[in-house]
């Protein structure tokens, strides 16, 4: 077994919480998409920051890779131990440490999931807003700078992490940020670690921004003649300053997948799924104004969902888009990808993605947090079909090029991980050199999630 010396020392530190059973290794080598099965050499289950520090010190001394692991819901292979070593399973560090209601924040360990956190907060009248769909761990959400259906109103993880504690590559524990809403002191290390995918440090505690549960919430759906009509409606809605809580696009193929997977009663045309937050009068006004805008773009079939049960059913269906897309194709797997563009170029980007998929003979679905210019494409693929995988790779390259050509980014939400490294130079140019310098300074032995984000040197 590789890294025997490190594993022996870790076993002395953790006892039975350092595991090398085949079942555990297999579990931690799986992923949600098309990446090959990649088991680690061992799995560590820490319960405290001090234990994480001890684990990292041992791994650093032996130059043994260490890869943080949360809910394993990432879509670009961020949690896979591609160079072997230790999978650091953070799921036992899952406590709410403090709720500071007057300051609208909560202090948590990284292993708690977003759903569990909101269940803990229910009695306080507050909620944590970032909603990526999957029941991800908040540590993983911070590490991948996650977004979600509510980002158009409440922001992404970048906007909702006030402070964090992290273990650095030599085992040093640092704290950065604070409960204060702003600061002018030094480099912003907290937001450097957010989105670093575990390559610069391992997050062990977070202070998260909370929001008050709105007095009134209403959801709605409506359909449009074309994707362009739906997207142009979104563009005008955002430009008009209407405070949407959620505004999600489903193209006709995504609707067809939902009809097959979830028995959805929806015509097979593009749809928007919407949610409005505020006072009773405010929500009613928002819905009326949006309805007037939407009718100008041919919207029909307006349906509202005001009860909690109806809204939950609507968003549960939306959050199952990954699995609906996987079931839609013959291969049973998806190749998911995303881009984010300026909202004025959104219709062009979505239309180009549809055209590229059709020309390459690929089955694709599109669903997106289009209120902030971000949309996702899921390609139905069979990983054993080399020709189909080659066409899927051509599609993702073309989509990335489209995103950059239109002034956007190759990923608004999924992150880089393994799958999008090849686009980093095109997006960042000379800045990539400085990213490499930061990685070397923070992690000189390259033990923290090696092989992610930064493309290999030529």
* Cβ neighbours around 115 below 10 Å, total: 13
Query: For residues 177 and 167, what is the distance between their CA atoms, to the nearest angstrom?
Result: 15
Asked if residue 186 and residue 105 are part of one domain, the reply reads yes
Last residue of a domain, one of 89, 120, 148: 89
Last residue of a domain, one of 175, 195, 212: 212
pLDDT bin (cut points 50, 70, 90) of residue 265 is confident
CATH number, domain of 190, equals 3.30.465.10
CA 75-77-83 angle, 5° bins? 175
Q: Is the pLDDT of residue 458 over 70?
A: no
pLDDT for position 277:
97
CA-wise closest residue to 74 among 164, 134, 25: 134
CATH number, position 76: 3.30.43.10
- Residues 158 and 231 placed together within one structural domain of the fold: no
Residues 299 and 364 in one domain: no
If asked whether residues 332 and 409 sit together in one domain, one would say yes
Among 321, 341, 356, the domain-final residue is 321
Same domain, 306 and 409: no
pLDDT tens for each residue of 413-441: 999 999 999 999 999 999 999 999 999 99
Claim: this prediction has a pTM higher than 0.85: yes
| For residue 1, pLDDT beyond 70 | no
If asked whether residues 188 and 236 sit together in one domain, one would say no
Q: Which helix (H) or strand (E) holds 276?
A: strand 271-278
Whether residue 333 lies inside any domain: the answer is yes
Query: What CATH number corresponds to the domain at position 248?
Result: 3.30.70.2190
218 forms beta bridges with 276
Average pLDDT estimate for 304-314:
88
- Residue pLDDT, tens place only, 327-379: 887 777 889 999 999 988 999 999 999 999 999 999 999 998 888 999 999 99
Q: What is the average pLDDT across 396-415?
A: 97
What domain range includes position 387? Answer: 328-414
- In this structure, the chain runs to a length of 458
Q: In this structure, is residue 277 part of a structural domain? A: yes
Average pLDDT over all residues of the chain: 95
Residue 370 domain-assigned (yes or no):
yes
Q: Which phi and psi angles does 143 have, rounded to 5°?
A: -65, -30
Query: According to the model, what pLDDT value does residue 389 have?
Result: 94
One domain for residues 306 and 334? no
| Residue 424 resides in a domain | no
Best CA proximity match to 276, nearest among 216, 346, 203: 216
pLDDT > 70: percent of the chain: 99
The tally of domains found in the chain comes to 4
- Same structural domain for residues 254 and 301? yes
Give domain status of residue 305, yes or no.
yes
In a domain, 421, yes or no: no
For 74-89, how does the pLDDT look when each residue is reduced to its tens digit (9 = 90+)? 999 999 999 999 999 9
- What integer pLDDT is reported at residue 328 of this predicted model? 83
């Amino acid at each position: 077994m590789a890294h025997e010396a490190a594993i022996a020392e870790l076993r002395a530190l953790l006892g039975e919480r350092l595991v090398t059973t085949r079942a555990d290794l297999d579990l931690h080598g799986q992923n949600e998409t098309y990446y090959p099965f990649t088991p680690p050499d061992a799995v560590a289950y820490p319960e405290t920051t001090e234990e994480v520090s001890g684990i990292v010190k041992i791994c650093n001394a032996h130059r043994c890779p260490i890869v943080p692991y949360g809910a394993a819901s990432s879509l670009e292979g961020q949690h896979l131990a591609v160079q072997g070593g230790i999978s650091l399973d953070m799921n036992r560090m899952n406590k709410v440490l403090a709720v500071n209601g007057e300051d609208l924040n909560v202090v948590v360990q990284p292993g708690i999931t977003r759903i569990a956190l909101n269940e803990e907060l229910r009695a306080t009248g507050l909620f944590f807003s970032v909603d990526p769909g999957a029941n991800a761990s908040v540590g993983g959400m911070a590490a991948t700078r996650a977004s979600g259906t509510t980002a158009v109103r409440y922001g992404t993880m970048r906007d909702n992490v006030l402070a964090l504690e992290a273990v650095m590559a030599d085992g040093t524990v640092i704290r950065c940020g604070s409960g204060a809403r702003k600061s002018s002191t030094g480099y912003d290390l907290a937001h450097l670690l957010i989105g670093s995918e575990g390559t610069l440090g391992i997050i062990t505690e977070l202070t998260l921004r909370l929001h008050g549960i709105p007095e009134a919430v209403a959801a709605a759906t409506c359909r449009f003649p074309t994707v362009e009509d739906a997207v142009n409606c979104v563009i005008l809605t955002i430009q008009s300053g209407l405070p949407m809580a959620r505004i999600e696009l489903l193209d006709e193929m995504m609707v067809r997948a939902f009809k097959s997977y979830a028995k959805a009663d929806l015509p097979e045309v593009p749809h928007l799924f919407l949610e409005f937050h505020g006072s009773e009068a405010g929500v009613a006004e928002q819905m009326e104004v949006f309805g007037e805008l939407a009718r100008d773009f041919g919207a029909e079939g307006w349906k509202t969902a005001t009860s909690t049960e109806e809204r939950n059913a609507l968003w549960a269906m939306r959050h199952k888009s990954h699995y609906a897309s996987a079931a839609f194709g013959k291969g049973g797997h998806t190749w998911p990808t995303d881009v984010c563009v300026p909202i004025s170029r959104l219709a062009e980007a979505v239309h180009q993605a549809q055209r590229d998929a059709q020309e390459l003979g690929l089955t694709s679905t599109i669903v997106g947090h289009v209120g902030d210019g971000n949309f996702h494409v899921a390609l139905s693929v069979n990983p054993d079909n080399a020709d189909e995988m080659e066409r899927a790779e051509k599609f993702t390259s073309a989509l990335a090029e489209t995103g950059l050509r239109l002034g956007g980014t190759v990923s608004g939400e999924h992150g880089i991980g393994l799958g999008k490294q090849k686009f980093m130079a095109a997006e960042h140019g000379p800045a990539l050199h400085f990213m490499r310098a930061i990685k070397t300074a923070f992690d000189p032995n390259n033990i923290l999630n090696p092989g992610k984000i930064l493309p290999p040197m030529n």
